[in-house]
Amino acid sequence: MKSADDLLGYNPAMYTLKVRSHQREELVEFTDKVQSQLKESAARDGIVVLYVQHTTAGLTVNENADPDVPRDMLHLLRTLIPQHGMGFRHGEENSDAHIKASIVGSSVTIPFKDGELLLGRWQGIFLCEFDGARERKVIMMLR
C-alpha cells in the first residue's frame, strides 16, 4: 500500500550540510551549498527547511549583494548584547551567543520550483555564527 506522501507525489529527503565559520561572530552565506544539494536531489517543486543543530548559531535569509548588511547586523547585535560586561552567569562566557542565536532563530523555510530556490534577487541564506570559529551542521529537509 502506498503512503500518503507517495500518493501526493512527495519525496521527502534529508541531508546534512557542513558550514565553516572563521571568526567568533560572522554571517556565512551558504546559498550555493543549498542550491547544489537541491539540484543533486532532483526534487522539482516544494520547500526546503533548514535547521541548525547548535545553540550558539542561527539561520537567516537576508541581503547578499552588499557585505555591509551582514556587518551592520552583527554590529547591532554586538551593541545590544555584548559578550562581556552584562553580568552573565554562564561559565563558558558565551551567554551572548546563546541569546543572539535565540533572537535570530534556528530555522528557515524556502520554497523551490523547477529545482531552483525561489529567493529574491538580493537574498541569500546565511549561517549566523555567534561562538566560532568552527564547523556547524545544518539539516536540510526537502518536502
**CB 95, CB 68: distance < 8 Å:** no
Domains: count for the chain: 1
Residue 129 belongs to some domain of the structure? yes
Does the pTM surpass 0.75? The reply is yes
pLDDT (tens digit, 9 = 90+) per residue, 106-122?
999 999 999 999 999 99
pLDDT (tens digit, 9 = 90+) per residue, 56-79?
999 999 999 999 999 999 999 999
Residue 65 belongs to some domain of the structure? yes
For the segment 114-132, the average pLDDT, to the nearest whole number, is 97
Where residue 100 sits, what CATH number does that domain have?
Answer: 2.60.120.460
Q: What is the largest CA-CA distance in the chain?
A: 61
Residue 34 belongs to some domain of the structure? yes
- pLDDT confidence band for 37 (50 / 70 / 90): very high
Residue 8 belongs to some domain of the structure? no
Q: Which residue has the cell 548559531?
A: 57
Q: Which residue range(s) make up the domain with 52?
A: 26-142
* pLDDT score of 2 more than 80: no
List C-alpha distances in Å: 11 to 5, 6, 116, 130: 7, 7, 16, 34
Instruction: Identify the pLDDT of residue 1.
Output: 59
Residue 6 belongs to some domain of the structure? no
Mean of pLDDT over the chain: 92
Q: Tell me the CB-side half-sphere exposure of residue 122, using CA atoms within 13 A.
A: 7
Q: What cell numbers appear for 40 in the block?
A: 543533486
**CB 18, CB 137: distance < 8 Å:** yes
Residue 35 belongs to some domain of the structure? yes
Residue 49 belongs to some domain of the structure? yes
Q: What cell numbers appear for 50 in the block?
A: 533548514
pLDDT (tens digit, 9 = 90+) per residue, 4-24?
555 455 557 999 999 999 999
Residue 82 belongs to some domain of the structure? yes
For the segment 22-49, the average pLDDT, to the nearest whole number, is 97
